[in-house]
Chains A and B, each alone.
Chain A
């Protein structure tokens, strides 16, 4: 069972308290009606499916209930970073250098 750091509670807690919530930084368009079918398809369905560091969302559902973002390596299952929703996408190169 993974241990996950909630950036809102500032606590590292067991995975049981959290729920996975899909890829991060997929932003709902301001005006969906202005999107072409292809653009809308990409927003709905096309995901990174990374082998390695992956930007993803988690929810501390059995805690503070907040959604937050994380960078997790899909090969090692190791969290490189968690950060609050709305914060900019961190730079991967500097993250990996820090590891």
Chain B
């Protein structure tokens, strides 16, 4: 049995020991322990080092607000988690954990040199110190800061755990299963509401678990709890322990993070580690209780200095005494009860040091009866002890004067500065906070959501009040839900309501430069830092926070906010409510990225769209690339080819004979109805009235601002029916834009729009042999050059399937695009492959498609255009129906800046050395000798090696580019300046003879 464990006491199982290791040293604890309680049972208080000064630190709390005792936990590769609070990590068999933020060992930390040098690290030292010389930044300051910054060590392996995600709808969500929350849940459930009760702890009961001496309705507290929990279960209340409400969002949506396996010795197969719940509750009761405040005095951060309430929790929940000789320093009644409970457990209470002159007489009498000395009207001016507190210096304060010092020897110092309502979730809703002068705390003010706040969360201390207030909140919530509810009164005996005073720093007689009184333990922010920040001009509390880093640690100011505010308000010379609190933001406690990601990782990170021909591509060794959400065959390497070789082979085969390409991802929209042609005239730049059924045309779509948004070939299948194709990535956007105009600007037009992208499989056949491959498979259409010229469309049958057959070309070769119902896509592909075999038909991917279209100067919207390119800029002025009275974007084409000379225009670029390929995105200058920063006149948009032309080719957007044809421009690159000549974009077959086959 460990020295500080009290046999039989607490909620832990004294019959079951659990082994674990801390910094490589083996320990045993009990089932139900946290890492902190198990280490404290062995007398270990030193659990970490502080962030800035590397000061030795032990736990100050017994809960999720812990700023000091942060550890890294591990259960095998990828399962390392930094910054876990030792105070909430439950023991499991074989748990490996380590302390953080130390250079060397925890007891001898080289980083502690920072502590000796603390005058060099005042508030804002980052901003002041690393300013000069400028050249030191890259090599010295930044690497040093990066190494020192951050808490814990980020895991480097992939997390093998699963994280789940669920939605929940409930009548009432109760956050916090302490006395108020339990009563709220009980009353609402009794009235017939569907209730969900969540609590971050393994066991429900809240503060009652640390106060078993209370009697409720004639029963000891824990017996009453058992009954209440059993009743909740029988009423069908969803009870969720180890579940933290991390954020409160609009319209009563609350995010919950449920921890499922971190406490288990072994993880059940496929069990998720955590589950994120998105709860939509009709009503919410916040019963989060209150957080105890530390006192601010010199040396308040030594291991062994702890909140009095935490000591009480360790005693009653875990059966652990936090020390043998305790000094209590308090400004609140509640610490007296901790002292009495510890005294009963055998801890010697050296003294209760009360900052108040006249504490409650009942408490003083009870202390006297127990033989405990009470020092009223005293302050603490010093503590001593290197790795653990060993003594406390206390002094009487009279009329503002500090009296003679007295040294008290101890091994722990338990402090209480009173309690702060935990209003984090309430603040997420933008509910206002109201300053209560009497209790010197913020209380909930105006609500913005359908919620209730009960118990200590609204400043009610004492179990009687908390239980009654919870019952009232539950009844109110039930009534709001349309149920009949009443609040049953409960008798409470041995209650401990208590009052207290609120301080800024405790008075001291030390020289102010020699006072190190910590406010934010984790970030090493002292009272002096806050005052310095105010002196240096920070007036807003938000500025003070950022300048000092107060409240920015993983505890997000749970310990430090109110103390920081008190001191800042004092320094600014304003009342605390005028200074105000910084904004609390979600999550309430640190939450893993895994919980947020849920199922969205790996193969299920996002949707992968596959074409009907995808399986063939995969079976034939395609390398894929993502194009918007689609995965598309990029190229088809054969016999160990690299990409360059495969693409060269695919290109040459297509130009020489015939290539086959899966174009199913092209967006397709059917525009139908009596007013279809009028609608097309208004949407696209081109004229459509005279396009005969059976013909198709390249269409350009602009935004109302005149810039190119999309393009594609559009076939007219009948007087009232158009088959519109869009870019792969633009399909949804184009349909949205069409719907917008149709629904809201031209609701009088009789037109229907239907997305048919996934209804049609599209196969492109290109090359001089394309017709020979296709002709035997086509029924019901004469596809001869005379009967079916370039830019024709027909409905017929191909390979026995109903088809929409286009004659068009995105390669410059004789080309067809065959659309068949998606379910026949693969069969069509295979039929074409078979028919093409005698001609050496070659499947090609998107890379070859890009090379072939660039050789012809065909643009890709989004690659050669960027949302600031007009049709004229792109060389597509011919596609504008100038005689049309209006179309989307027409008026903008006459905007002064769109007709001004010197706009960037799309041109061809040929490097002087054809073996050199330009980088896409590379900037272009006219004179490489000019001083920096150079005037950049454009950039490369498309650049490929053309096997057909035996050299590199590129397209670029260049200011006044078309007028510069023939001029040489320069592309400065890290390896040197590349010279290139401006040309036309038609690199291959400029007269289009090959289309006429």
**What residues make up the interface of A, taking CB atoms closer than 8 Å to B?**
1-3, 19, 21, 27-28, 31-33, 35, 37, 40-41, 44, 57, 59, 61, 65-67, 76-77, 85-86
Contact = CB atoms under 8 A, between A and B. Distances in A.
Q: Which of B249, B278, B886, B896 has the most CB of A within 10 A?
A: B886
Q: Which 3 A-B pairs have the closest CB atoms?
A: A32-B891, A3-B251, A67-B743
B747 A44 contact: no
B892 A66 contact: no
B740 A40 contact: no
Contacts of B885: 31, 33
A85 B743 contact: yes
B81 interface: no
B448 A66 contact: no
A76 B431 CA distance: 10
A66 B736 contact: no
B250 A1 contact: yes
A86 B249 contact: no
B705 A1 contact: no
Given A3-B251, A33-B885, A61 B736 contact: yes
A33 B891 contact: yes
B5 interface: no
Given A3-B280, A28-B704, 9 more contacts: A3-B250, A19-B736, A32-B890, A33-B886, A35-B891, A44-B704, A59-B740, A61-B736, A85-B747
B758 interface: no
B165 to A, nearest CB: 13
Contacts of B743: 66-67, 85
B895 interface: yes
Interface in B220-276: 249-251, 253
B249 A1 contact: yes
A37 B250 contact: no
B747 A32 contact: no
B250 A31 contact: no
B739 interface: yes
A61 B705 CA distance: 24
Nearest to A4: B251
Interface size range of chain B in the complex: 20 to 34
A42 B863 CA distance: 29
A10 B280 CA distance: 20
Nearest to A24: B744
Given A33-B886, A44-B892, A85 B744 contact: yes
Contacts of A59: 736, 739-740
A78 to B, nearest CB: 8
B745 interface: yes
A65 B739 contact: yes
18 contacts: A1-B253, A2-B250, A3-B280, A19-B736, A27-B745, A28-B745, A31-B886, A32-B886, A32-B891, A33-B890, A33-B894, A37-B895, A40-B891, A40-B895, A44-B705, A57-B744, A61-B736, A77-B250
Contacts of B249: 1
B430 interface: yes
B409 to A, nearest CB: 57
B319 to A, nearest CB: 44
B430 A76 contact: yes
A33 B250 CA distance: 44
Interface of B: 249-251, 253, 278, 280, 430, 448, 704-705, 736, 739-740, 743-745, 747, 885-886, 890-892, 894-896
Contacts of A32: 886, 890-891
Contact of B739 (A28, A35, A67, A76): A67
Given A37-B896, A59-B736, A1 B278 contact: yes
Contacts of B739: 59, 65, 67
B245 to A, nearest CB: 16
A20 B988 CA distance: 45
B258 to A, nearest CB: 19
Q: Which of B280, B705, B736 has the most CB of A within 10 A?
A: B736
Given A35-B891, A40-B895, A76-B430, A67 B744 contact: yes
A31 B885 CA distance: 8
B889 to A, nearest CB: 9
B740 A21 contact: yes
A76 B745 CA distance: 30
A2 B252 CA distance: 9
Contacts of A57: 744
A58 B886 CA distance: 26
Nearest to B706: A44
B59 to A, nearest CB: 37
Nearest to A34: B891
A2 B890 contact: no
B663 to A, nearest CB: 26
A59 B736 CA distance: 9
A44 B280 CA distance: 39
Given A1-B250, A33-B891, A40-B895, A76 B278 contact: no
Nearest to B430: A76
A29 to B, nearest CB: 8
A77 B448 CA distance: 11
B949 to A, nearest CB: 42
A85 B740 CA distance: 11
A57 B739 CA distance: 13
Contacts of B250: 1-3, 77
Contacts of B895: 37, 40-41
Given A1-B278, A76-B430, A76-B448, A40 B744 contact: no
Contacts of A65: 739
A67 B892 contact: no
A65 B738 CA distance: 12
Q: Which of A2, A41, A44 has the most CB of B within 10 A?
A: A44
A52 B240 CA distance: 38
A28 B743 CA distance: 13
A65 B885 CA distance: 30
A27 B895 CA distance: 19
B168 to A, nearest CB: 13
Nearest to A33: B891
A40 B892 contact: yes
Contacts of A86: 744, 747
